[in-house]
Structure 1
């Protein structure tokens, strides 16, 4: 029988809140918003079927159930940290290579690595922007991130995140539906199945008259940049938009979010603990970034 683990993101949020005694303190430590931490704690409480914290104006305090569970969480994360410390001696010269598709590499991965290195400043990473297939032979990457089912065997294969597409525009832009302001993304042959504005309109119950109107971009990252510069409204990955939303470069003028048909996949070699540790952290960071982006989605057009 397979084990039913609590969500890793939720456990990390609860452990940080218990240790700092504050939702705000936990959010600052994890690099996310306080509402995102609260949401993850509620998720863990629902999973366990018990309340772990009492909320007050001065912070949070553990319930009896929380005090009984905290030592296990703390010990588990201490052990994860010890595993991560094994890695540098297993690989010479101690650098881990992460390869990703273009939009992932441009719009999400650098910020994710930066957030992770706040906790692991000893981590040495080389980022590569490549399209599939990549060569995992000598000198190849340790970790690969791409969309859908990746064409690799002999590797550990996991879901990074199941992303959504959201509309984004420069803050202050009109929030009405105007087909002349839409930025259409040409996903390319390998990603032809990805949703486009026509799919979003159908899901939102909005009538689309002519999909040829508006602007066009050859990649999700480029469409998002056009939107940030005031070029219109782009339909982009919530994961990729998270940091621009946090920085105020873009805003979501209207909802809803449209789930993507497939998830992003992360593949890694299993030969060194550092690969597994970084993959774990990237998955956690992706979940937190997606939660934050979706918290900024405004009500649907109506």
Structure 2
């Protein structure tokens, strides 16, 4: 049997009025006039053939018939909202899939995951540690955390922080007994693949050094591995403060050259623009932004 429905906008108006308790408040929520709210409620009542509200002087109150109808209208709009959410591409509103650089995950994010889970126990994190493009055709990731510049075509970005960069090494590797530049020429300069090798050249040029004089270089594919190699005394690593700050504070690493510079690269959140409207993504974005703003290396 074909069921006839009243105009949808009148049901929505009824639902909002029942939630707010007044035509005036409902008008503000719906961005229409108070007279339009009154007209839509009257239109719905005429269509149904009975009143839904008792009207008094300057006040209204939902009556027994309105209370009987309300849960069905509520259920209908809840179901509609769920359907629209699924159509938006978020079938798992309580699971947040993150693609995170291994270096940032190891040095900063993973030690702080319990704090996020305590604040948001209803959101289950799934973290993939990788350097690849976080959004390909598999549609698995909700958000990526990357270090770079704002050149992610077709994606929306949210900047977290720039970072300070400087060379570090094991305390026993350099004890100040000779000219630091002569010493540095004999060491392996450890660098991630771009942009860190570029940064090494920029660092040397900024100190009036010729990059070609520093030929002993070793490249690895991950910044966290650079820090581990420096801790093992295998060379001088050019790393971000966000990655090595704990080791510096503990005296496990030193700065043989007391000089730093700020890169044009930085940490940013990356995702399709509509992902940033999802509640789970909003929650994580706010949490990580506030956390990084408290860090001594925070720069924007």
Q: Shared fold (TM-score greater than 0.5)?
A: yes
Provide the C-alpha distance between the structure 2 equivalents of 1:132 and 1:217, rounded to a whole number of angstroms.
Answer: 16
Q: Does 1:285 align with 2:286?
A: no
**What secondary structure does 1:270 align onto?**
helix
The answer to whether the Cα contact below 8 Å between 2:193 and 2:219 also exists between their aligned partners in 1 is no
**What secondary structure does 1:108 align onto?**
helix
**What secondary structure does 2:253 align onto?**
coil
The answer to whether the Cα contact below 8 Å between 1:101 and 1:131 also exists between their aligned partners in 2 is yes
Q: In the alignment, what sits opposite 1:87?
A: none
Q: In the alignment, what sits opposite 1:110?
A: 110
State the shift of 1:134 in Å.
Answer: 2.8
**Residues 171 and 128 from structure 1, CA distance in 2 versus in 1: closer, same or farther, beyond 3 angstroms?**
same
1:241-263 Cα offsets, whole Å, 9 max, x none, are 13333454433333211211222
Provide the C-alpha distance between the structure 1 equivalents of 2:122 and 2:254, rounded to a whole number of angstroms.
Answer: 34
Candidates 250, 255, 258, aligned match of 1:255: 258
State the shift of 1:203 in Å.
Answer: 2.1
Which structure 1 residue ranges, 5 or more long, are not aligned?
1-89, 295-302
Q: In the alignment, what sits opposite 1:201?
A: 204
State the shift of 1:186 in Å.
Answer: 4.2
Q: In the alignment, what sits opposite 1:240?
A: 243
Provide the C-alpha distance between the structure 2 equivalents of 1:195 and 1:126, rounded to a whole number of angstroms.
Answer: 32
CA RMSD of aligned residues (A): 3.2
Report the TM-score when normalising by structure 1. Answer: 0.55
The answer to whether the Cα contact below 8 Å between 1:239 and 1:286 also exists between their aligned partners in 2 is no
The answer to whether the Cα contact below 8 Å between 2:101 and 2:129 also exists between their aligned partners in 1 is yes
1:74-105 Cα offsets, whole Å, 9 max, x none, are xxxxxxxxxxxxxxxx9747221111234333
1:97-135 Cα offsets, whole Å, 9 max, x none, are 111234333433323434544554554211112334233
Between structure 1 and structure 2, the one with the greater Rg is: 2
Candidates 274, 299, 302, aligned match of 2:280: 274
Provide the C-alpha distance between the structure 1 equivalents of 2:172 and 2:121, rounded to a whole number of angstroms.
Answer: 37
Provide the C-alpha distance between the structure 2 equivalents of 1:168 and 1:225, rounded to a whole number of angstroms.
Answer: 11
Provide the C-alpha distance between the structure 1 equivalents of 2:261 and 2:214, rounded to a whole number of angstroms.
Answer: 18
1:70-81 alignment runs, 5 A limit: none
Aligned residues: 200
